[in-house]
Amino acid sequence: TSRGRVALWHMVTVSDQKGDTKIQWKLQTPAEVEGNISQLQWGSSSHLLAVCSSSCVVILSEHVMCSHYCQQMAAVQLTPTQLSLANFNTNTHITFHTDTHIRSVQVTK
């Protein structure tokens, strides 16, 4: 979009009460990049999408987001470079932005 958002859909198969299956598309959380998006191009390998905007070029790669919960602490990956931490004992919440892509998370006290 002109606001730097890339809409993504996920295909799901749904069965009704009669046992018939239908294919539906579920809208996912949009990927966000800086600037106005001018071009999209699928990569040569699966699950890659190049996004060209007015300020940068980004290669999106599909992967499962990470999360972990332990002793009233939770870590949830929000984007490839954003992590949300919550401490339920103290009712505190922090969001981190990184320069590198997050591949896994684990919390301990």
Structure confidence by residue, pLDDT tens digits, 23-32: 889 988 888 8
Q: What pLDDT is stored for residue 1 in this prediction?
A: 65
Structure confidence by residue, pLDDT tens digits, 33-81: 888 899 999 887 777 889 998 888 888 887 778 999 999 999 999 888 8
Q: What pLDDT is stored for residue 92 in this prediction?
A: 96
Q: Give Cα 88 distance to the centre of its chain.
A: 24
Q: Are 25 and 45 in contact (CB under 8 A)?
A: no
Structure confidence by residue, pLDDT tens digits, 80-93: 889 999 999 999 99
pTM above 0.75, yes or no: no
Using alpha carbons, list the distances in angstroms from residue 28 to 45, 48, 78, 96.
21, 16, 12, 22
